[in-house]
Amino acid sequence: MLNEKRKFLVIDVLLIAMMVVPLVFAMVLKVLTTPESDGVNITGALIYFTIDMPFNTSLPITETQVNSWLVIISITGLCLYLTHGIKEKADTKRQLAAEWIVEKCDGLVGENMDKFFSNFAPFIAAVLGLSAFSSLMSLLGLFAPTSDINTTAGWAILVFILITYYKFKCGLPHYLKSFGEPVKLLAPINIISEFATPVSMAFRHYGNVLSGSVISVLVAAGLQGLSSMILGKIPGFLGDFPLLQIGIPAVLSIYFDVFSGCLQAYIFAMLTMMYVSDGFPAEDYEKRRNKQRKAA
């Protein structure tokens, strides 16, 4: 019995380390690789190294890719920790938290998608978790993967593939016919709208996260300059004390990093559910299945 408890505790410690170590590694890597600079410095993701590829091209390994994988590892550790020692009847806070997350995701999918997509909850939970935690990395002074257009564009392309896949459920003729609804004259606009969907999803998420980070940096730098101008004439350490940087940047961080980051994750998940569910011709699909059953 004692050995089982020790084994359980050791696994818990390893799972907690799986959550924490990637973030610590990211912070250490950030400190070691960020070049020194004076004043305001707003740049994109750092390029760690490049890999030579065929056809005279190269693949850059950037801060975005590394941080994205570290977030995935941390989320995986969190999921394993919450479900470690799970039982039929919840008797621990972690299992209650896990069940609450599952219930909320199931409810979110049930309210916003057709019943055909009842098994979509894990995918939506992954979208929410990856997006929110990626944006929240800025709280640790790390580069948020969601402030890179390549990240959000990749997610948007994946959603676009899902939308197209479910639109094809009734066959190619039905898919092509949908561009002429409600009238055939709108077909060119519907085609443009089809490809504008992933573009708008990518730029909305990326733009909001990036703009929040830029505004926070600019305000913090401005407050530092204003503080130096007001207190600079005072001799001693008070002249260098960044008085105006106390409190205000933290309030901005709560909005731009926490609220806005989580809000954008929720919006992206909602748009994913809406576009996939609305693009699926549920009634026509059922009619087609019934015809196939009768024919069989």
pLDDT at 82: 92
pLDDT at 168: 85
pLDDT in tens, 64-74: 999 999 999 99
pLDDT at 270: 92
Q: Distance between CA 22 and CA 73 in Å, rounded? A: 7
If we measure between CA atoms, which residue out of 251, 245, 212, 249 comes closest to residue 226? 245
Buried b (16+ CB within 10 A) or exposed e, 89-126: eeeeebbeebeebeeebbebbeebbbeebeebbebbbe
* Residue 182 preceded by cis peptide, ω within 30: yes
The reported pTM is: 0.82
pLDDT at 22: 94
Residue 76, C-beta contacts closer than 8 angstroms, at least 6 positions apart: 18
Question: Low-confidence residues of the chain, pLDDT below 50?
Answer: none
DSSP output for 169-205: GG-HHHHHHGGG-S-GGGHHHHHHHHHHHHHHHHHHH
68 residue type, one letter: S
Buried b (16+ CB within 10 A) or exposed e, 218-244: eebbebbeebbeeeeeeeeeeeeeeeb
